[in-house]
Amino acid sequence: MARALVIGGTAFIGRNLVEQLLDRGDDVVIMHRGSANPYGDRVGEIRCDRNDIPAVHAALDGKRFDLVFDNVYDFQRGTSAEQVMAAATALAPGVRRYVFTSSVAVYPMSGPYHEDATLVNSDDPNVYAAQKASTERALFALHTQGKLPVTTLRPAFIFGPHNPFEREAFFWDRILAGRPVIIPEDGAATMQWVHVRDVARTAVLAAEHRSAAGRAYNVALPPVTQVEFVRLLAKVAGRDVTILHVPRAKLLEAGGGLFAPPYYFGAYLDLPPMTVPDERARRELGLELTPFEEGLRETFQWYRQQERPRPDFSWEAQFV
């Protein structure tokens, strides 16, 4: 049994990670800024905004953990390398493994990129990518200095129950309502996905494999095109889908959003293709990922049990 700290343990990745750690008998503590501990007395808690560096130092002073899982990013304010390092350096004494959830966004666009590829610069216009890449460099510098055994994970788009982003649910809202689904251009752009449970499982595996220290791991299923993705969502829902191809420029000129509503193709999904292989994780960690259709069927069952807000199709109606 290990004493484990999960930085952010109440939402998407953290929820899955905490449950997996509890299932194997670990003593789990979460560090979060929320008002409630959803696990009751099964899990300890430290309430702290991880972006508040003085507060982090005060909250973690004297705390000791065998394993630390850091999977929080503040999409409103950003989370810098300095803010992550506040926790990492405070917790370094005695830590057996510090697992940081990064992203495939740390690579320049296109690919394919293996884990040893050069990451984007700290001044990259994509702030999320720049901060994740800068954080990885800072953490691996600590590892090289012998101060902290670090592993980083680079997942592709994450799907599954409790997804906070308008992704799978965005499309199912339209498919079940019999609405056409807009796809920019010809829909041949590719995406890679991974089930949230597999991201959490990779973190646990990386924490326990001695050879994983100092390593980064891509975590991603094989690429699918935008059209294939939408058709698979419709198949899982047991419905037909009408696909409406619209030039990307026309969508953007009309005010369509990639990072904020009104979304024309879900949240953040219409990005230039990024391709990453995951051979290293399969070879070194023994990782086997949940097949995409299987994971989507599970996610659809969860989606059907939710009380979704009434979808607003007014913006996209101009293209029908």
Question: Domain limits of the chain?
Answer: 3-157+193-219, 163-192+223-271+290-307
Instruction: Out of 3.40.50.720, 3.90.226.10, 3.40.640.10, 3.40.50.300, select the CATH number for domain 3-157+193-219.
Output: 3.40.50.720
Residue 111 confidence (pLDDT): 81
The list of the chain residues with pLDDT below 70 reads: none
What angle, 0 to 180 degrees and rounded to 10, lies between the N-to-C axes of helices 53-60 and 81-91?
10
Give the Cα separation of 274 and 284 in Å (integer): 23
Label the pairing between strands 97-101 and 150-155: parallel
Q: What is the pTM of this model?
A: 0.96
Strand-pair category, 3-7 with 67-70: parallel
Cα–Cα dist 302/314, whole Å: 26
**Is the CA virtual torsion 64, 101, 57, 25 positive or negative?**
negative
The reported pLDDT for the residue numbered 110 is 79
pLDDT of residue 37: 87
Q: Is 79 helix (H, G, I), strand (E, B) or coil?
A: coil
User: Residue 279 burial (CB < 10 Å; 0-12/13-18/19+)?
Assistant: exposed
Nearest to 6 by CA among 95, 99, 103: 99
Per-residue confidence (pLDDT) for residue 36, from 0 to 100: 82
For the stretch 307-319, pLDDT in tens is 999 999 999 999 9
Half-sphere exposure of 279 (CA within 13 A, CB side): 6
Given this model, what pLDDT does residue 1 score? 87
Question: Where does 163-192+223-271+290-307 sit in CATH, by number?
Answer: 3.90.25.10
What pLDDT, on a 0 to 100 scale, did the predictor assign at position 202?
98
pLDDT tens track for 83-108: 999 999 999 999 999 999 999 999 99
What is the spatial distance between Cα 152 and Cα 203, in angstroms, rounded to a whole number?
9
